[in-house]
Amino acid sequence: MTSYLDHAATTPMLPEAVRVLTEHLARPGNPSSLHTSGRAARRVVEEARERAAAALGARPSEVVWTSGGTEADNLAIKGLFWARRTHDPDRRRILVPAVEHHAVLDPAFWMAEHAGAELVLLPVDADGVLDVDALRAELEAHGPQAALISVMWANNEVGALQPLDDVVTLARRYGVPVHADAVQAVGQVPVDFAASGLDALTVSGHKVGGPGGAGALLARRGLELTPVQHGGGQERGVRSGTLDAPLLASFAVALDEAVRRRPEHAARVGALRDTLVAGVREAVPDAVLRGPADPGRRLPANAHFTFPGCEGDSLLYLLDSAGVEASTGSACQAGVPRPSHVLLAMGVDEDDARGALRFSLGHTSTEADVAAALAALPAVVDRARAAGLAGRSSGTPAVA
């Protein structure tokens, strides 16, 4: 039996979301059509919009449907930058922490290469938390040139919660809009768009028990966004494309359920996480927990470790062979393992960063899943270390 501990990558759909999706899949109708079936599909879309908005503390008019978190992040970074430059050509600087998800970093780098943006990578501390003083210094020096700030609500690798209140307070002094990728945060910590003071916020369906291919960008009323894709003018002309009523209905139900169940869910997975952390430390005493040590400053479902002398990919494959599914959190380009940019930004040595493993819990996680991981881990680490030693002595890549 497989123990699935990679919910941060994607989590199984909630039964309620599956039921709504299958119920609507058999119904015809393009939400942009004016006949009866089209109007029925439009009603499904708008009811889903209202439900999603209520779950996230937003107005329905602030919900812009997208195909997922990556598209929403691209729309936020590119759309905000281009809209700001239209009115003030001097606003060229895009400010993002160095630990952002690639769905934010890559479009920001693209804008620097192709659209005249100046990208500023803000430093973080050893826990992966934004250095607020560095942001303050940047705004004091170049506030009038800042086009936007994007700071994730919670880091997807080490689980660190970011100081968004401080970010928003500083940004307001200089009239700089703030976007947050909240893909990992929704359903684990309280997320209220209106109360946050943010200008834009990203959410994704498959992270909260909904379907893949559905997401949203919350954009406050009056916020100007230049469209990234063009076509039929759907979603207030900001995001063209035929809306998928079944996916959106399912997404909204999952979002509503995840938010409603959050207090109990966070307490349950937080207790499992604490058991996992304590067990890993006992089984592998030199393993290093990354991210904030204080459980209140990190996501309750996240436990991220580095294992000295190991390659993360070896750990991953060996655990998989033992029936435990986790994640390294690192990128692999052209078959060459790369250390996590998040860990490197936190000041972790490159060799240590290569030995990263992320366990992430979710609504299907049980004590048996945690026990299975802890039972398999000591032998897995021993084999990964042996493979690493053999690889280094022979000068060839380690194969576990």
Contact 274, 294 (CB under 8 A): no
Q: CA-to-CA distance for 19 and 210, rounded, in angstroms? A: 11
* Among 126, 332, 368, 379, the one annotated catalytic: 332
Whether 332 sits among the annotated catalytic residues: the reply is yes
Contact 188, 301 (CB under 8 A): yes
Q: CA-to-CA distance for 22 and 245, rounded, in angstroms? A: 11
Q: CA-to-CA distance for 7 and 247, rounded, in angstroms? A: 20
Q: Which amino acid is at 150?
A: S
Residue where the block lists tokens 């990919």: 313
Residue 131 to residues 164, 272, 334, Cα–Cα distance (Å): 11, 30, 33
Which one-letter DSSP state was computed for residue 13? P
Q: CA triplet 400, 339, 98: central angle to 5 degrees?
A: 160
Q: CA-to-CA distance for 265 and 259, rounded, in angstroms? A: 9
Contact 150, 176 (CB under 8 A): no
Q: What are residue 303's DSSP bridge partners?
A: 359
Q: Which residues contact 232 (CB under 8 A, 6 or more apart)?
A: 32, 240, 241, 242
Q: CA-to-CA distance for 168 and 150, rounded, in angstroms? A: 10
Alpha helices for the chain (secondary structure H): 15-25, 36-56, 69-87, 102-114, 132-142, 164-173, 193-196, 245-260, 262-283, 312-321, 341-345, 350-353, 367-394
Q: Which residues contact 194 (CB under 8 A, 6 or more apart)?
A: 57, 58
Q: Which residues are catalytic?
A: 332
